[in-house]
Amino acid sequence: MKNRIGVYICECGSNISDYVDVEKVREAVKDLEGVALAKITMFACADSTQQEMIRDIREEKLDGLVVASCSPKLHLFTFRNVAERAGINKYNYVQANIREQGSWAHSDKPAEATEKAIRSVKAAIARTRLSEAMTSPVISSENAVLIIGAGIAGMRSALDLANTGTSVYLIDRDHFVGGRTSQWGEIFPTGESGLEVTTDLYRQVMKNENIVLRTGCGVVSKAGSVGNFDIRLKITPRGIKKEAAAADGFAERLEKAVDACPVFVSDDFDFGLTSRKALQPSGGRMPELPAVDRENCTLCGECAKICPGIEINSEEAYEDIKVGSVIVATGFDPYEPSKGEFGYGEIKNVVTLQQFRRLIETGGNRAGSGNGRRETLVYGGNEIRTIAWIFCVGSRQTGVLKGDNKYCSRYCCSSALHTALLARKNFAGIKNIHFTRGVRTYGKMETIYEESSAAGDIFLQSFDDTAPTLSFEGGVTTVKVFDVLTGDREMEVGADLVVLVTGMVPRSNEGLGEIMKIPTGRDGFFNEVHPKLKPVETMMDGIFLAGTAQGPKNITETLNGSHSAAIKAHSLISGGEIELEPTMAKIDRNLCEWCGRCLEACPFDAIDKEEYEGKKIAAVDTSACKGCGMCLPVCQENAIQLTGFSDGEIISMIDALAE
Amino acid sequence: MPRILVFSTEKISDPAIDLAGLLKQHYPPTVYTISVPCSSGIKPAWIIRAFEKGFDGVFIAADGTDCPFSPTCTEKTADIVAKTQVIMEEKGMDRARLRMAAICSVCSEAFVKHVSGFAKYLEGSD
C-alpha cells in the first residue's frame, strides 16, 4: 500500500480555480492517510511544475502521485512520464478530472463543484494507495494510414507520410482531387492559382509509390482500434476505362459524347453559377480523366454509343484495408445564406464570395471591350462596376445577425479584399465598397488591406447592433448602413453586384463522424482534444485531423495542420509497435473452480484451462487478453481481478466518493 | 440532491462526459464517475456496494454498439444490469435505481439528459 503520496491540485490558470475552491480541496485531503504532501499549482502541466514534482518525489521519497486537473485524455501520459522520470512506476499515478467533469461541468454551482472535486481527489488518493506497479504490453501496429479527403490538406499529409516510408491510402468521395483549393484562381501571397498548387501536389502523389489514391471513394465502416483499424471502403466507379482514354481521338469523341448527354445539372465546382452534364470532363482538374456523375446519370447510354470506353453500368466495389492510423481531412463548405438573407436568392445580383471567385475565373462571364482596354466584368448580362461587399455573412452571428455560427471564419476578410483587388486588376472600372464589421486581415495579410485602401476601396463599418440592409427598387440594388466610422451616419450605395462575404461551415460528410466516432464542437467542426496541447489529435486514439475539417483556416494554416497530423500519425505507428495499457485479467488460483463461464465471455480466446494443485482452473493468455474485463462479472467465485481495476481499487473509490 | 455513481468507459463514454463539461452542458454536481475499460466488465458487487454506501442511483454509461472489444457488449452489460436488479430486489431496493444507456464518444447531450432525468426520478419528482 502506498503511504507517501504527493497530491497536486491544478488551478489550470483559472479554468478550475474560478469555480473550484482549490485551497479548500487541499485542506480536505492534505491530512488523509497516505498523503505525504498536497500542493496547489497554477499549471500542473508546466515544465517548471513537472520539475518540482520530480524533485518532491525524490526528496520526499514519494511512492505515489495524484494530479487533480483536466481530463486524463489530455495529461495522463504527461504525468505518468513525470512519475517515471522521478523513479516511481507510472501506474502508481492517478489523475482526478476536476475540470471537464468538475469546474466546467458545474460552473453554474461553484460550491457543489468544490465538493465534487474534494470527493474525486479523495477517490484518486484511495486508488493510488492500492495501485500496483505494472509493465506495459506492446502490440504490433500497421505502418499504414488512411487519409480521408484528397484536398490540399489530405495530399500534403499523404506526401509527408509517404516520404517517410509509411503506406498511405488517400481517398476522396469526389472523382477529382484538389478540394476547395482547386476552385480558386490566384491565391495570396504567391500569385499561383489554386488549381496549379493542387495539380502539383497531385503529380507528386501519383509519382509516390507509397500512396494508393482512390477517388469516388468513401468509408463504410470502421472496426478495431489504434494500430489496427479495419476499414471498409466503397468505391463508386468513374465510368471511364483508363486505357480507352489513352487512345487516339478520345478527346474529340468525349466532346461529342458530352454534347450528346441530355442531363444538365448545376455545377458545384462553380457554386451553381454554371451548369454541366452528367458526363463531366475533368476541366483541368486532376485526374484528367472524365467521370460519370452516377447520382444524376439516367443511364440513357447516348454517350457510350459515341465514345467507347465509357462504362455507365459498372458496379460499385468494396475494399477492406488495415491501417494503424487515420487522418480526417474532409474540408469545409462555404456558408450558404438562407433565402432572403441579405437578398440572397431573391435579388438576382447578389452572390457569395465563393461564387464571385468562380465568376472572375470563368471566361464566359467576361465581355471584351476591345481597343486594348481591360475586359468588363459581366454578370447576368449586366456590366459590373460598383461592387458592394457585405462581410461576416454566416460568421460572427451575434447581435442583429441571427444564427448559430458564433465563430469568425478567419479567412474571409483577407479573401474578400484580395478578391476585390483581383477584380480591380482584371476588369475595367471596378469600384469596391466594403461593408465590414471590423476588418480582420491578421499577420501578413494586413498588406492586402493596405493595398486595398491605397487602391481606393471604400470601407464602411457597423457593429452588432446594426447590419447593412438591401433593397431592390426600379432595377437598382441599394445597400444602406449606419456607418460607425462617420459617426453612425446612414450611408447608401447603389451596387451593380452585391458579394456576400460568406465564411466556412463544416462540410457535409455523410455520417463520417459517426463512423469514426470523433466528436464535433459547438461550431459543428470536428474537435481536437486541446487547441494548444493536442491540436490535431481527436478523442479517438490514432485518429487525427488536418485542415478545415477542424475549423476555419487559410491555406497556410491548413498546410501547417496537415504537416502536424502526418507527423503525429507517423510517430505513433511507424515503429511497428504501440505501447498499450497493462490492464489484464488475473486469476486467483485458489478461488477458481473452473466453470468455463470466463472462457465463454472472453471475446479474444484469452482464457485457457490449466492444472493447479489437483484441480482445473482458468489461465489467462497474456498475449491475447485485451483487458476488457468481460470475464469478471460472470465468475461466480469472484476469482478474476483486472489489474488497475481490482475490487480493492474500485471499492476504495466508491467508498471515497460516497463518504 | 440525489447522488448518482456513473460507471463510464475509458474509450467511449468518458469522452462524451468530458465533452459535456467542455460545452458547459450542466448536469447535477452530485453525479460522480468511475471509469472502467468496458461496461461489460462491471461487477454487480461494485454496484451493490455503491448503494450500500449511500448512492441513490447507479448509471452505467455503456459502450453499446461502439464497444471496441465485442459486438455482444450491449447484451452482456444488460445481463449485468438484470442480475444486479435481482440482487437489488432481494435486498428490498427499487430496481429502477440502476439504469444503463449506451453513451457514445460524442453523446454529451444524451449523457446530460440521462443523468438529469435520472436525478429527477430519484428525487421523486419525475
Please give the Cα distance from A376 to A513 (Å, whole number).
Answer: 45
**Binding-face residues of B in 21-40 toward A, CB within 8 A:** 21-27, 29-30, 32-34, 36-38, 40
DSSP-assigned beta bridge partners for residue A215: A172
Q: Would A144-236+319-331+507-577 and A335-505 be classified into the same CATH topology?
A: yes
Q: Are strands A64-69 and A5-10 parallel, antiparallel or unpaired?
A: parallel
Within 13 A of A7's CA, how many CA atoms are on the CB side?
33
- Decide: A539 and B126 in contact? Cβ < 8 Å: no
Describe the crossing of helices B73-90 and B44-52 by its angle, rounded to 10 degrees: 40
Please give the Cα distance from B75 to A630 (Å, whole number).
Answer: 12
- Compute the average pLDDT of residues B7-27: 94
Class of domain A5-134 as given by CATH:
alpha beta
Cell of B32: 460522480
Residues of chain A under the 50 pLDDT cut: 364-365, 369, 372
Which of B11, B21, B53 lies at the smallest CB-CB distance from A105? B21
pLDDT in tens, A252-292: 999 999 999 999 999 999 999 899 999 999 989 999 999 99
Query: For A602, which residue in chain B has the nearest alpha carbon?
Result: B70
Question: How many CB contacts within 8 angstroms connect chain A with chain B?
Answer: 155
Q: Residue B102 maps to which CATH number?
A: 3.40.50
pLDDT at B95 over 60: yes
CB contact under 8 A, A517 and B17: no
Cell of A258: 458530352
CB contact under 8 A, B15 and A513: no
Name the minimum distance, in Å, from the CA of A60 to any CA of chain B: 30
Cell of A40: 496547489
- Decide: A506 and A522 in contact? Cβ < 8 Å: no
CATH number of A585-643: 3.30.70.20
CATH number of A335-505: 3.50.50.60
Helix (H, G, I), strand (E, B) or coil at A455: helix
Neighbours of A547 (CB within 10 A): 32
What are the chain B neighbours of A541 within 8 Å (beta carbons)?
Answer: 11
What are the chain B neighbours of A99 within 8 Å (beta carbons)?
Answer: 21
Q: What residues contact B85, with CB distance under 8 A and at least 6 apart?
A: B95, B98
CB contact under 8 A, A517 and B104: yes
Beta strand residue intervals within A437-495, DSSP E: 458-461, 469-473, 476-483, 489-495
Backbone angles phi, psi at A292, to 5 degrees: -95, 125
Residue with cell string 431592390: A472
| Residue A514, CA distances (Å) to A73, A220, A323, A517, B66 in order | 20, 11, 19, 5, 10
Closest of A566, A498, A465 to residue A210, by C-alpha: A566
Please give the Cα distance from B25 to A352 (Å, whole number).
Answer: 35
Closest of A451, A410, A407 to residue A432, by C-alpha: A451
Q: Chain-wide mean pLDDT for chain B? A: 94
DSSP A273-295: SSEEESEE--TT-SS-S-EE-TT
Cell of A333: 463548405
Domain that holds residue B64: 4-123
Q: What's the DSSP call for residue A554? A: -
Please give the Cα distance from A113 to A122 (Å, whole number).
Answer: 14
Q: Is the peptide bond prior to A287 cis by the omega test (within 30 degrees of 0)?
A: yes
Domains held by chain B: number: 1
Q: What is the pLDDT of residue A464?
A: 85
**Binding-face residues of B in 100-119 toward A, CB within 8 A:** 104-106, 108
Helix (H, G, I), strand (E, B) or coil at A485: helix
HEC string for B4-44: EEEEEECCCHHHHHHHHHHCCCCCCCCEEEEEECCHHHCCH
The fourth-level CATH superfamily of domain A144-236+319-331+507-577 is FAD/NAD(P)-binding domain (3.50.50.60)
- Decide: A101 and A71 in contact? Cβ < 8 Å: yes
What are the chain A neighbours of B106 within 8 Å (beta carbons)?
Answer: 513-514, 517-520
Beta strand residue intervals within A342-415, DSSP E: 350-352, 366-367, 376-379, 382-384, 386-393
Q: What residues contact B74, with CB distance under 8 A and at least 6 apart?
A: B62, B63, B64, B65, B67, B102
Please give the Cα distance from A649 to A654 (Å, whole number).
Answer: 9
Describe the crossing of helices A110-130 and A22-29 by its angle, rounded to 10 degrees: 40
DSSP-assigned beta bridge partners for residue A66: A7, A94
- Decide: A236 and A216 in contact? Cβ < 8 Å: yes
DSSP B85-96: HHHHHHTT--GG
Q: What is the pLDDT of residue A361?
A: 82
Please give the Cα distance from A42 to A29 (Å, whole number).
Answer: 18
Query: For A229, which residue in chain B has the nearest alpha carbon?
Result: B68
Q: What is the pLDDT of residue A523?
A: 87
What are the chain A neighbours of B19 within 8 Å (beta carbons)?
Answer: 100, 519, 527, 539
Cα Rg of chain A, angstroms:
31
Entry field: residues in chain A: 659
Please give the Cα distance from A117 to A99 (Å, whole number).
Answer: 9
Please give the Cα distance from B48 to A642 (Å, whole number).
Answer: 19
Q: Chain-wide mean pLDDT for chain A? A: 94
CB contact under 8 A, B5 and A120: no
- What band does B126 get if pLDDT is binned at 50, 70 and 90? very low
Q: What is the pLDDT of residue A103?
A: 98
Please give the Cα distance from B10 to A538 (Å, whole number).
Answer: 14
Residue with cell string 426520478: B121
- Rounded to a whole number of angstroms, the distance between the first and last alpha carbons of chain B is 14
What are the chain B neighbours of A581 within 8 Å (beta carbons)?
Answer: 37
Measured CA angle at B66 (ends B6, A327), to 5 deg = 115
Name the minimum distance, in Å, from the CA of A339 to any CA of chain B: 30
Please give the Cα distance from A152 to A562 (Å, whole number).
Answer: 9
pLDDT in tens, A193-241: 999 999 999 999 999 999 999 999 999 999 877 898 999 999 999 999 8
Interface confidence, given as ipTM, is: 0.97
Please give the Cα distance from A153 to A571 (Å, whole number).
Answer: 19
Query: For B77, which residue in chain A has the nearest alpha carbon?
Result: A630
CB contact under 8 A, A658 and B3: yes
Cell of A567: 507527423
Q: What is the pLDDT of residue A594?
A: 96
| Residue A256, CA distances (Å) to A187, A253, A260, A302 in order | 34, 5, 6, 10
